[in-house]
Structure formats: structure tokens, C-alpha cells
Structure 1
């Protein structure tokens, strides 16, 4: 097993620029290390690239093969049972011990504002079946940031990717006073492990109702839930908007069926709790084990695709 010093020496970085925006991306975990509007940091990140080798919070990473949780670290597919790497108690989180966020990708800076990352995940990695060729294209076009993600498997296998930025919009004190709006009136009920029960609940008259913008701190128990989007929605319409007290705003567009929203309230360190907000479009968590959830099984003829579009603007913040 290679030491962290040896691994640190392998970390490469590309810096993208366009207009008033700058972004740095690492080959380790396909991590977005930083994203700035002028000198304002829009996401959480470590200045020291080596810090990501031991980061338990997946800051800025591409997570998968299957983002979120898989119950009991196992699933059945085509008459076979697959045992996965358990890295959250008895469950698999964000792809297990050998997930995409723990791998070194091939990183190519295509132009001043575009980077391409590639990784081939071998058959059996973290217990998942099939070899998969992953590609993440990152394109910075002020005021937008685009992640285009594809995956080509050689056999049927579950794939669900999430981009795991913690958005701050320049707020050093935390995001409790940021306002969030979501194009969702339903969420997945979870048990005390954070695992979906299979039931879909209405957000109405609950702390998780963000159909109208309200502060993140209004959810007294914190937010770490998967919100479901309408199936007939236009993917060009924003699924989320985050607005900082400064007036800086982030809109999120996605083609995914829902998103995990995490307010960072349980972060153990070194970054203190509630410093950033994750909005992670992806497939339904634990989908391979819940037949009523939309399938995340991809095949050679139906490969995986995702597009995530982030746009920053300035708007009036109403208290």
C-alpha cells in the first residue's frame, strides 16, 4: 500500500479561467479544489492538495460508482448477488473504499477553460460488476460551470454519480442564513441510519418544504435528504437556487431525477459544521434494492450520462 507522501506526489492540478471566474481541479478523485468569482470562494476546499487524501467529507469530489448509500453493502442483479465494500457501518457510501473519489484519474487541460478527466474502473472494484470507462468534462464559461459526466459499462451494472461540492458563496461564517429554494415537493423518508425506507413523503407543512425560499437554519434538525423532482419538468429549468445574504446566488440545473441536499450539520472536522451546502443531483439512493425507485442499471447499449449546470448571479436578498 502506498504512503500518503507517495500519493501526494502523484496529485496533479489544472486551473481553468474564464471572465471573472477561476477553478482548480485535481486528478485525485476528480476533485474540484476551488471555484472563485474574482477573489470570492464559492465552495469549500483545502489549499493543500494532500489534505484530500484523508478527507472524510468528499469535498468537491466525483462520487460513485453509486453515490449515496447501498443498504447492507449488497444487491442482486440478473440472478446474482453482489457483496460490496462496506465503509459506513454495514452499508456502502459513495462507492465504497475504492470509490471514484479515491482514485487517480487521467487529467487533461483541453483549453484555458476546459478540462477532461478519464478513469477506467475495473470489474469487481469495491465489489461492483463490470468494467466502466468514466469521463468527466468540466467547462467554465462565465458565469456558468458545467459538469458533463458519462460512463460506458461492458455489462449491466448500477451507476449513479454525484458531484460533491460544498457551496458557500463567499460566506466564511457558514450557510445557516443562506436561503434555499427547491423545485421539489417530495422527499425520501429515511431511517435512523440515513437509509431510504422506500416511502416518498410530501414536504408540505414540514421543515423540508423549500418550495418557497427560506433559510437553511430553519430546518432545526439539519438537512441530509434526497428530494425528488417532477418527471415531466424541463431539465433546463433550475432545480435549486441558493442565495447568500450578500446577494450572491447559485442556480442549479440537472437532468437527474432528484438530488441529495446536505447542510453539513454533522461535519466532524477539520471544517466546522454548516460551513457549506451540498446539492448532489443523482439517481435515487439504494435504488438497486428498492424496486419502486427508478432504475440506475446501465448497459453497453444504455450508458450513463449526466449534465450539471451551475450559474452564479447577484440578486437582492430579502430577509
Structure 2
């Protein structure tokens, strides 16, 4: 192992897990093969003070169970699938139910809760690989996934790829919780989202199938505004999928966040059609939320639309989530850090 790798321990099954430090002039990050997760990321503010700006678990072993998906890779299918059911090529599949009556982020033992193989580690990049067997959490086909974390100047670049030996569905995202101040509530941090439209949710945070215009609603982030400005007008906080403007599959700006107090900025670019804004609504100060309270961080999860397999109109407009043998799934998401 390279000298920037630290072994943290072994799982009950005997698999070794640990953290790898990636560092350049602008960014210091730690990633772990437990869930292919981003553990911490430090960047300087306008006065040169370095601070961790992501929510980090209290204990290293927390990344083995990680109920809040801190920094984790969610999959096979990120976000929700209604009743844990979908049909593919005339066959109905039943997935693990782990979020009320529905399936969330790949199930009870999702990609976030598995030990990934470590490939090609270096000072500024690493690739993680996971082979998900046929029937894993109910999904068909053996799936091979690779995720590369790479530092490029002021950017943290995430490149995903996957192949399968049988038709399956796939939707991957990173579930990092951000706070550009490093602590405290996020009310005064600014957010802009490149989206004119957002999915309407039902009471289970599943899409109803209706696409809403954001104009004149609390979900209007087309120009920068404090995250807390309209927070009280939502149902306990934001947990919505915004439809990113621009051509699907092209790398484009999805969101820009900033902290006026520290001067830190973060631009998120992605090839995905959607971005889920989640304001840590379930955080309650317990170990599951790393001691953080409600609305002290936010997720910007770049992904395909939730419950797409059960909403054919989503697949028509925004691209299919079905992956077949001979095809390669690819996704790129970039976090670009700066100082204002």
C-alpha cells in the first residue's frame, strides 16, 4: 500500500478497509474503500485557513454501516424506487425495502455499505472497483463498477463507469454533506441551481410524475439566494430533484454554492440530468448524523431521476437508466472550489 494509505481495520468477514489521503496545493481529501466514500475535504478560506467542509463520521467504523450515507456512493439505484418494484423486459423485480414502503439508495446493503477494491492509488487520484453479484439486493445481472476520485487543481473530479452481464438498472451518485463554513447552520450560505424545473414529490418523497416550474416557489434557485430564505416554506427542508438545464450527457454547471463569511465557493458540474438538493432534514445530533443537527449541511446529489424505471416519460426525456450487456455506463461529476 502507498504511504498515503492508512488501514483502519477489518470487517467481520475479514476485508480490510482504510483511508487514502489525496492532496495538492488547493485541496486535502480523505477517501475510504468503505462505500467508496469521501470522508473529509479541506480547502482554504479567504484568509488562508484550511477547514474540513464535509460531514465526517465520528468513528471510522461508522463507514461500515453509515445509515446517513455520509460521503458515500449510493447504488445500484440512488434515490427512491416506489414499493421496491420495477419491470424490465417483461420481468418484474422486487428490491429490498428500506425506506418506509420503498427502496432507497440501493437497499439495506447498498454500494455505500460494501468494501470496494482499491486500484491505482496515487497522491492525487484513486480508483475503487466493486463487483455486485446477480441478485444483489434484488437487482438482476452481475455489475462491475469503477469510481475514480481525482484532484485536478481546484477540482475534485468523480468519474464513474459500469458494465453488466445481463440487463439491469443503474443510477449512481455521491452523497456528501457539505457545509462551506465547516460548522453551524447553512441558512446564510448561498446556493444557485441551474434548473427551471423540479419534480413534484408525494408524502414519501417519491415523484408524482408531475414536473413543476420553479418560478415563484421556494424551489427557485435560478439566482443565488440564502438556503434558509424559504426553508420554512418547505415541508421540513429541501429534498427535491431539480432538472438541470442544458443537454443531457454534456458536462455543465448544475449548482454553485458559496459561504459569504469564509469566502469559500463550490461549483458542481455534471453530465447527469438531475441534482437532488437535500438539507439534512433527518439530522438530530446522534451518531447516525455524526453529531450534526438538522439543516447544518446540504447534499447536491447528481443523478438520474428518482423512480425512473416506473416513470417511462422520465426515461424518454432524460435518458434510460437501463444498462445492457455490451454497453458502458459513464458519468462525470466535478466539484470546483474557489474563494470569493
Both structures adopt the same fold (TM-score exceeding 0.5): yes
2:298 to 252, 261, 277: 277
What is the TM-score of this pair, normalised by structure 2? Answer: 0.88
2: distance between equivalents of 1:193 and 1:284? Answer: 15
Residue 227 of structure 1: aligned partner: 242
Deviations 1:92-150 (A, max 9, x none): 00000121001110123521101110000000000000000000001012311000001
Matched, 1:254 2:270: yes
2: distance between equivalents of 1:274 and 1:8? Answer: 37
The more displaced of 78-87 and 50-59 is 50-59
1:267 Cα deviation (Å)? 1.8
Matched, 1:36 2:42: yes
- When residues 12 and 171 of structure 1 are mapped into structure 2, their CA distance, relative to the original with a 3 A threshold, is closer
Map 1:150-189 → 2, pairs under 5 A: 150-189=161-200
Matched, 1:70 2:81: yes
Contact 1:12 1:26 in 2 (8 A): yes
After TM superposition, the runs of 4+ consecutive aligned structure 1 residues lying more than 3 A away are: 4-9, 233-237
Residue 322 of structure 2: aligned partner: 297
Number of aligned residues: 312
1:298 Cα deviation (Å)? 1.1
Contact 2:191 2:257 in 1 (8 A): yes
Map 1:13-162 → 2, pairs under 5 A: 13-38=19-44, 39-162=50-173
Residue 268 of structure 1: aligned partner: 284
What is the TM-score of this pair, normalised by structure 1? Answer: 0.93
Residue 286 of structure 1: aligned partner: 307
1:164 Cα deviation (Å)? 0.7
2: distance between equivalents of 1:168 and 1:87? Answer: 27
The more displaced of 186-195 and 9-18 is 9-18
2: distance between equivalents of 1:90 and 1:234? Answer: 32
Name stretches of at least 5 consecutive residues in structure 2 with no aligned partner.
1-9, 45-49, 287-291
Name stretches of at least 5 consecutive residues in structure 1 with no aligned partner.
none
Contact 1:184 1:228 in 2 (8 A): yes
- When residues 146 and 258 of structure 1 are mapped into structure 2, their CA distance, relative to the original with a 3 A threshold, is same
Contact 2:142 2:166 in 1 (8 A): yes
The more displaced of 262-271 and 116-125 is 262-271
2: distance between equivalents of 1:109 and 1:48? Answer: 26
Deviations 1:288-307 (A, max 9, x none): 11111122111123321100
Map 1:188-199 → 2, pairs under 5 A: 188-199=199-210
- When residues 106 and 183 of structure 1 are mapped into structure 2, their CA distance, relative to the original with a 3 A threshold, is same
Helix, strand or coil at the partner of 1:293: helix
CA RMSD in angstroms, aligned pairs only: 1.7
1:234 Cα deviation (Å)? 8.5
2: distance between equivalents of 1:159 and 1:65? Answer: 5
1:283 Cα deviation (Å)? 0.5
1: distance between equivalents of 2:339 and 2:250? Answer: 22
2: distance between equivalents of 1:234 and 1:162? Answer: 15
2: distance between equivalents of 1:166 and 1:265? Answer: 11
